[in-house]
């Protein structure tokens, strides 16, 4: 069956919560073999070691000069390479320019907090709250934190303090645009559970968790919620949704998944920023009323518009290339699939196609304004030539009269 969903980017412009609709994604949905049955167990065993992670990913500038970040909050910053488990890393995967991490003030309830700063102009604030207890308590705990209005406020306050301190390292800063993402991590249950059992016996509870729903979902909705899942060993599992994820793994494997999910969200924040810039520029272009004939001596308006569009096209191409090539994955099949799964859930390809379409429109407008400026320049030169000819005729007639 064909299922269409609307990609909605979570945004908190300024201090208020809002949402922005993105491109519609249509895909074939086939319920997996582990479809939920009405008689399944209510939930997995109690959690011995778990956590809730809230990410707030802000696009704040065109670039950030990481070399100028000697310290933040009086403490040094540290490089943040990808910490991948060796079993899955036979290939080559790393950041082209490693981001750096800095400590920020604790979040609500003394949640552990840190900031990760990327050279392509993105700052990711993460709050982490540990958990131990039953699955039902964990589900209620994550729902409460997922809907907590204090978290985005605390993230914005932490960002404002950080930006004030690192202002000298920002190149062309702009009003921050934010993406949020929530990860439910379980490192260990009280009794061993393999990935197959989680999907087969506890799929309904797991689907309700990642969708932050209290009631059990239908078989079809549960299947869709669990459709994008990955396991490397039989005792680990990651389920990816468009705004949440469930990660069940040992420490090093879980950290790898968290890093890749965070990186994918930084790309989404970048793409949304480019999309907004293009929207703003197109609004400005349409306000110029291109159908109106250019004034005889007003070619400067068309030339300025063409120059502005040319610089925008170059900026978008450069920034897109920098963010898309920030993570190098060569020969690592598992993590490459994991990243593609996250990118698919976030709709990165759809956002990129939308941006490409707008860039094509901007290119057309650039050519139009360039042609308009050239036509105006030619008209101006023709007028000058006519005036010179007229002047020569007048001078000639005056000389004949004398």
* Long-range contacts, 69-77 (Cβ 8 Å, 24+): 69/100, 69/102, 69/117, 69/166, 69/169, 72/102, 72/103, 72/104, 72/115, 72/162, 72/165, 72/166, 73/102, 73/103, 73/104, 73/165, 75/102, 75/103, 77/101, 77/102, 77/117
Q: Model confidence at 31, in pLDDT bands (50, 70, 90)?
A: very low
Report the share of the chain in percent with pLDDT over 90.
Answer: 45
* 178-216 pLDDT, tens digit each: 999 999 999 999 998 999 999 999 999 999 999 999 998
Whether 121 shows a pLDDT value over 60: the answer reads yes
Q: Model confidence at 75, in pLDDT bands (50, 70, 90)?
A: confident
Q: What mean pLDDT comes out for the span 286-308?
A: 57
Q: Model confidence at 272, in pLDDT bands (50, 70, 90)?
A: very high
Question: What is residue 188's three-state secondary structure?
Answer: strand
Residue 311 CA to residue 386 CA, distance in Å, equals: 35
Whether 37 shows a pLDDT value over 60: the answer reads no
DSSP assigned state of 106: -
Whether 300 shows a pLDDT value over 50: the answer reads yes
Question: Which tokens sit at 193?
Answer: 């559970």
Q: What share of the chain is helix, strand, coil (3-state, %, to 5)?
A: 50, 25, 25
Question: What is residue 204's three-state secondary structure?
Answer: helix
Residue 347 CA to residue 8 CA, distance in Å, equals: 9
Report the share of the chain in percent with pLDDT over 70.
Answer: 73
Residue 274 CA to residue 181 CA, distance in Å, equals: 20
Q: Where are the domains of the chain?
A: 46-262, 270-398
Q: What mean pLDDT comes out for the span 345-354?
A: 90
Q: What mean pLDDT comes out for the span 107-130?
A: 91
Question: Which tokens sit at 317?
Answer: 């191409």
Across 105-114, 145-154, 301-310, 386-395, least confident range:
301-310
Whether 4 shows a pLDDT value over 80: the answer reads no
Whether 36 shows a pLDDT value over 50: the answer reads no
Tell me the sheet residues that pair with 217.
none
* 325-347 pLDDT, tens digit each: 666 666 668 888 899 999 999 99
Residue 100 CA to residue 68 CA, distance in Å, equals: 11
Tell me what the pLDDT averaged over the chain comes to. 80
Place of tokens 């308590």: 137
Residue 307 CA to residue 31 CA, distance in Å, equals: 52
* 9-30 pLDDT, tens digit each: 444 333 333 344 444 444 443 3
The number of residues making up the chain comes to 402
Across 76-80, 84-88, 153-157, least confident range:
84-88
């Amino acid at each position: 069956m064909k299922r269409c969903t609307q990609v909605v980017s979570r945004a908190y412009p300024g201090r208020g919560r809002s949402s922005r609709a993105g491109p519609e994604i249509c895909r074939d949905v086939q319920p997996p073999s582990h479809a939920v049955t009405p008689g399944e167990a209510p939930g997995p065993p109690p959690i011995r070691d778990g956590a809730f992670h809230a990410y707030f990913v802000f696009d704040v500038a065109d670039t950030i000069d990481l070399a100028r970040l000697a310290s933040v909050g009086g403490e040094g910053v540290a490089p943040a390479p990808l910490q991948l488990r060796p079993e899955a890393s036979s290939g080559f995967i790393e950041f082209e320019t490693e981001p750096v991490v800095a400590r920020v003030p604790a979040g609500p309830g003394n949640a552990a907090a840190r900031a990760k700063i990327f050279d392509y102009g993105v700052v990711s604030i993460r709050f982490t709250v540990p958990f131990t207890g039953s699955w039902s308590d964990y589900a209620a705990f994550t729902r409460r934190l997922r809907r907590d209005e204090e978290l985005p406020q605390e993230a914005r306050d932490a960002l404002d303090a950080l930006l004030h301190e690192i202002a000298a390292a920002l190149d062309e800063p702009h009003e921050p645009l934010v993406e949020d993402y929530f990860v439910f991590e379980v490192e260990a249950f009280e009794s061993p559970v393999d990935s197959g059992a989680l999907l087969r016996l506890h799929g309904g509870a797991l689907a309700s968790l990642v969708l932050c729903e209290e009631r059990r979902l239908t078989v079809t909705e549960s299947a869709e919620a669990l459709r994008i899942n990955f396991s490397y060993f039989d005792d680990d599992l990651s389920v990816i949704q468009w705004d949440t994820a469930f990660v069940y793994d040992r420490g090093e494997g879980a950290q790898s998944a968290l890093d890749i999910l965070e990186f994918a969200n930084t790309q989404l924040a970048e793409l949304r920023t480019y999309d907004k810039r293009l929207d703003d520029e197109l609004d400005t272009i349409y306000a110029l009323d291109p159908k109106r004939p250019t004034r005889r001596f007003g070619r400067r308006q068309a030339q300025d518009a063409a120059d502005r569009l040319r610089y925008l096209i170059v900026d978008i191409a450069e920034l897109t290339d920098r963010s898309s090539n920030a993570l190098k994955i060569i020969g690592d099949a598992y993590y490459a699939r994991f990243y593609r799964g996250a990118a698919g859930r976030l709709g990165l390809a759809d956002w990129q196609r939308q941006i490409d379409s707008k860039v094509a429109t901007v290119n057309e407008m650039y050519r139009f304004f360039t042609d308009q400026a050239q036509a105006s320049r030619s008209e101006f030169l023709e007028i000058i030539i006519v005036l010179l000819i007229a002047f020569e005729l007048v001078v000639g007639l005056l000389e004949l009269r004398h």
